[in-house]
Structure 1
């Protein structure tokens, strides 16, 4: 009888899983596209001196914050919702309907993080320290990605990001008083994050008619380099990441422990670490809205989708029950690292910080405690703030007919760009031999840098086990290698001169294949006062979404997936569902 019951539950779980995966793949990611989170996390950890392994551990746990927030709870009427999903859904800064809501939320989350990191240090748990760091960075990055922060902090110039003040800069200046914060900077009266009523949120979404996240072509999000205000939002999230890590290390209150964490290596589990990190790329870009006939993966932008890769990569994740990195997030961990950050609940202010009329008011005690334990961005040492972005923007690519035939046709190119050793993976473009992509790789480096090494590799995606086929676009090994001077915007090496605008973009080619890029630098903050002309609505040397308008949604003009797939496409779709369900069954249910 127990075996029958177990089998019955397994069948029910499998059916729920199939439906949930369909719905999962037909909805937008509720955060920065996962690629942006990965870049922000590794870039900021890199500047603080964390090892390559530690950077990737932080990025993988950052990604799990999104992955583990999805479950069969998306299926109405099925009582299969694990408690952890509701908790993880609170990690995305949604449904914060005023600066008071936002301040209370961030204060509670900061205090929870302080307790969590101190506990990890007390137990000597370096892996948990890194996992909590990556997870907590995700939350603070979402505070900017899911709000209109970059809109209320409008830029007045295009030659720098004009990052004026982070949330904690303003809260600290106001001595922890939200009322004083609004008095000093009235624009905060317009602060809001988008409304989200899905899955674990029904009792948090108290104003259902508010702004929605949307997707690549609509909504308030700034999640991808195809969205309005993306680069501005990215700069604030990066500054927030820098101040968060600075404080996180001080909350640890153990310099020796922090030093060991920074130099951590994966050892015997190195292969698992990079397999997991690669899976974060593959599962994200390969997820697709096939249900609607669109190429809409969620690594950095639209145009991606590969059901066989999705199937293989999710199956790989589910096969290793000894993986120490996934174990940190499983329900049977003691405790799972995310649960430490969710206790007390992040939305408890809805019940504990209200006046007699039931209106949410500032949680004064938590806010004062937070400010007392936080050094804001503008007070950090200069080596963490005097930074400039190196921006590698791809304006077009073309694969030769000969190369396309060589790989069997229907290439899905993407760019693998290394900037001073930090790798950036842009979104594969499904079945496109020639295209004008939105690829924009951004790495912040010390502002005095005069010799930034850049390696540009154009890659085609064959399948999940072999996504490293280089398209030759330069002499020799086919990879473009240049040195970039951020002071003069001059290139040397395989290409020379200044190529820092659309108009002066350089073309590099080999054997008939070609890529056109420009390399620019944009300081995080501006050295001089804002322009007197006021808000700019057009910066023509930035990512597409930074133009200030989005009239035609050109991002969605890629050919739908499966147009020529027929029964093969249907088989791959079914295969991916089954593999995804196996993954969810082994890990989630």
Structure 2
């Protein structure tokens, strides 16, 4: 039970210890991009989609709060279990998946019975975080290479019985007997959390396939109880005030992750290089007093009894034992009830890749200002593929960056032409009024627009020709104010779309497309402590 005195003590502690950086994980950006893309595909509206994205981030954010571990250890312990860490044998991984799947079905169907569509979205964000983390925190990439004739494998845990040797990295790293089996960070370990790490792009592809499969199965569980509740969830309608809270939460997710520093952190949006201490602490302090209670309350529901908290707090709903059949995720044993099946879902997609191999400032004349008039550029990119804008990492105080951005978007495998739009910006930190739009186009405009022919890899538009691998990039530079030079390549890659090989246990199905500073508890829920999302990192593999 969360007692009044406990919440007061927590408030005092968080005020003193509030801005402690978090440990590493699948960085915040990949979690958000995966979630947004998958939910957009099946027709979630903006309110619903962004709610799930925020709950996904908060799952990491609160996991990494040292104050929470001291004041609400049961919640903290349960949050620790939502990241697939420390499962050192295949049997432990199997037991976790069994228990997690049992708990998830019960929790989602309970929300449907209670006609609580918002709770469905909260549970979806939390559970997707765990599902995505498995593929970046484990050696699934290494044990499941792409089949002959394809660039990427998409087989998920539920699609195959070929699981021998699968395990996840040990976290914290100090508890690991060797660097090879530790979760690691940007320079070592098992993780594939950002583009800094080997095989990140393969882990991302597996996580995409698994996220589609999981959302489809959740839809089936919910509609089995009440199809109207699934429609209500994906067509969620928030009030203006709630949308303001949601916007503030997503801004905090981006900025806290981007700017986090200390204890070896140097940003965790999409790799390292974006950390900025003054901005991180300023944003953490602002987030501390920003109302966001609707979205944070499910982590800390004030309740009158322990039974109630186990059943209705969303964290406990996914992780704790209950008489309704839910299992303790921390127990290394098979589930004690029948484990639900998770149906295979065809992929039928190709991956569009835009990979920047270099970005740098261009020389200026004697009387011209540099991109950052007060120092060195802080480059970041906005890359739009097939209508979806993906916000890439910032590199603070770097006049030249090699291999700065890996950008992915999945499109139907039948699509022959894909539009690409590239913008490069210089971040001006809060002391300036706005960021600087960089010029990377030798013509009259600043940005680059092109179309990729996915059949022959040829580009048309502002860039023309075939530039489809790391050794053959195109290079374009601007000729106006804030000019920069960029090298990159663009290509499509084939995804395997094979039937499951586990004796037909997973039936193939199709995806349902939708028609179109207040209270003390709230202060805890607001994110008084500065954390970041748990996507973790590896030396990059080439695409």
Settle same-fold status: TM greater than 0.5.
Answer: yes
- CA drift of 1:14 comes to 4.5
Compared with structure 1, are the counterparts of its residues 106 and 446 closer, same or farther at alpha carbon in structure 2 (3 Å cutoff)? Answer: same
Q: Distance in 1 between matches of 2:209 and 2:498?
A: 16
Compared with structure 1, are the counterparts of its residues 352 and 154 closer, same or farther at alpha carbon in structure 2 (3 Å cutoff)? Answer: closer
Matched, 1:57 2:37: no
The aligned runs of 1:416-427 (5 Å cut-off) are: 416-427=382-393
- CA drift of 1:520 comes to 1.1
- Aligned position for 1:486: 454
- CA drift of 1:476 comes to 4.3
- Aligned position for 1:274: 247
Q: Tell me if the contact between 2:252 and 2:283 (Cα under 8 Å) persists in the aligned partners.
A: yes
- Aligned position for 2:494: 523
Matched, 1:502 2:470: yes
Compared with structure 1, are the counterparts of its residues 497 and 262 closer, same or farther at alpha carbon in structure 2 (3 Å cutoff)? Answer: farther
The aligned runs of 1:85-484 (5 Å cut-off) are: 85-155=76-146, 160-163=151-154, 165-170=155-160, 181=161, 185=162, 188-197=163-172, 211-253=181-223, 254-268=226-240, 269-289=242-262, 291=263, 296-321=266-291, 323-332=293-302, 335-344=312-321, 348=328, 353=333, 362-363=334-335, 366=337, 368-371=338-341, 374-376=342-344, 380=345, 382=346, 385-400=347-362, 401=364, 402=368, 404=370, 407-463=373-429, 468-474=435-441, 475-484=443-452
Q: Distance in 2 between matches of 1:375 and 1:5?
A: 43
Tell me the SS of whatever aligns to 2:350. strand
Compared with structure 1, are the counterparts of its residues 43 and 393 closer, same or farther at alpha carbon in structure 2 (3 Å cutoff)? Answer: same
- CA drift of 1:230 comes to 1.2
Matched, 1:47 2:47: no
What TM-score do the two structures reach when normalised by structure 1? 0.74
Matched, 1:69 2:39: no
Q: Distance in 2 between matches of 1:6 and 1:35?
A: 31
Q: Tell me if the contact between 1:58 and 1:131 (Cα under 8 Å) persists in the aligned partners.
A: yes
Q: Distance in 2 between matches of 1:43 and 1:326?
A: 23
- CA drift of 1:94 comes to 1.1
- CA drift of 1:212 comes to 0.8
What TM-score do the two structures reach when normalised by structure 2? 0.80
Specify which of 528, 536, 541 is matched with residue 584 of structure 1. Answer: 528
Deviations 1:365-419 (A, max 9, x none): 54x5222xx212xxx2x4xx10011111011112234453554222211111122
CA RMSD of aligned residues (A): 3.4
- CA drift of 1:8 comes to 8.7
Tell me the SS of whatever aligns to 1:91. coil
Compared with structure 1, are the counterparts of its residues 476 and 261 closer, same or farther at alpha carbon in structure 2 (3 Å cutoff)? Answer: farther
Compared with structure 1, are the counterparts of its residues 516 and 257 closer, same or farther at alpha carbon in structure 2 (3 Å cutoff)? Answer: same
Q: Tell me if the contact between 1:130 and 1:261 (Cα under 8 Å) persists in the aligned partners.
A: yes
- CA drift of 1:68 comes to 0.6
Tell me the SS of whatever aligns to 2:358. strand
Of residues 233-242 and 393-402 in structure 1, the stretch that sits farther from structure 2 once superposed is: 393-402
Deviations 1:463-514 (A, max 9, x none): 2586643212224441222222322323233223322222332223222422
Q: Distance in 1 between matches of 2:427 and 2:524?
A: 20
Question: Which runs of no fewer than 5 residues in structure 2 stay unpaired?
Answer: 304-308, 500-522, 532-543
Q: Distance in 1 between matches of 2:359 and 2:437?
A: 13
Deviations 1:119-151 (A, max 9, x none): 222233222222211111110111111111111
Q: Tell me if the contact between 2:51 and 2:121 (Cα under 8 Å) persists in the aligned partners.
A: yes
Tell me the SS of whatever aligns to 2:451. strand
Higher fraction of helix: 1
Question: Which runs of no fewer than 5 residues in structure 1 stay unpaired?
Answer: 171-180, 200-204, 354-361, 529-578
